[in-house]
Amino acid sequence: MGVAIRGTGSALPEKILTNFDLEKMVDTSDEWIRQRTGMSERHIGQKETVPSLASAACRRALEKAGKKAEEVELIIVATCTTEMLLPCAACRVQNILGAKDAIAFDINAACGGFLFALNTAHHYIESGACNNALVVGSEVLSEIIDWTDRGTCVLFGDGSGAVYVEKTEEGDGSGIIGMSQGSNGMAGKMLYCRGRVVKGETEPEINSEDLLVHMNGGEVFKFAVRQVPICIRKALDMAGLQPEDIDMYLLHQANSRIIESIAKTLKQDIKKFPMNMEKTGNTSSASIPILLDELNREGKIQKGQKLMLSGFGAGMTFGACALIW
């Protein structure tokens, strides 16, 4: 028995914020943003929420898989921007979809969250605890961004991506064949966002700016280009593959220069690394499943192809997943 992706879906807010719009908000330019990030626009939520975007993406994934919400046994939402502390976003998605028999919970591993959630669903299914799952990355990052900080506000966008996964029978030929993940809490200050005040905190009293994203871009860049290739190689080793065996690398859409550096480290053609950040920005946990859905719906992924999904996030967290489509 294995675990395979059977359906993909995604959802983006209607409002689009372009680089030219950002020129009017902070000291930046379209050329500066494009050269350093590869981004030209991003979607920004207005009335959209983490659960509403996640539910829309899930419906499309279920439709693609030919399944009904009532059949879903597990829902995992990866998010770091859910609007409510309780109930969790996954339970709210469960309610919206009407997936009354599903187990539902959230995972917060920031931009690495989708891979952590996919790995968790994989283990649930492999253990026999359930037969299928909806795995979702959903973010409304615009709510925690400092729109006066040109170093971060140009990077992020809102959106959601989902996959429906289910167990496969012996001889199926498709499914997940290698996974790896890890964390480095010692590097947590590279990228952080404070939440509510907790009793026992020893740090000085926080102010409103602490409740927005803070990032050391240079250190995050160095961490990503060093750690992601290591993580990918571990997943390749588990799958018994070499970098050249992978047909397509779907990486977290954080920055085009990061992806280009990873491609060079792995000595692989950049053509194997599709990107859509130009139109979506960095959507954190949603970026990989949004890209996967886009490629799937455009017919760019063929049955039997070998894919590598990989990314990193605040924490710092990192993960990779090798699969046969």
The catalytic residue among 58, 80, 88, 111 is 111
List 103's β-bridge partners, or say none. 74
Q: Is 231 a catalytic residue?
A: no
Cα separation, 298 vs 102, whole angstroms: 30
Q: Is 123 a catalytic residue?
A: no
The catalytic residue among 58, 252, 255, 321 is 252
List 320's β-bridge partners, or say none. 180, 310
Find the helix or strand (DSSP H, E) in which 55 lies: helix 50-65
Residue 178 tokens, joined? 């290698």
Q: What is the DSSP string of 146-189?
A: -TT-HHHHTTB--EEEEEEEEEE-TT---EEEEEEEEE-GGGGG
Which residue in 283, 315, 286, 308 sits closest to 157, CA to CA? 283
Q: Which residues contact 65 (CB under 8 A, 6 or more apart)?
A: 6, 7, 164, 166
Q: Which residues contact 290 (CB under 8 A, 6 or more apart)?
A: 10, 12, 137, 159, 160, 161, 253, 276, 280, 283
What amino acid positions are annotated as catalytic residues? 111, 252, 282
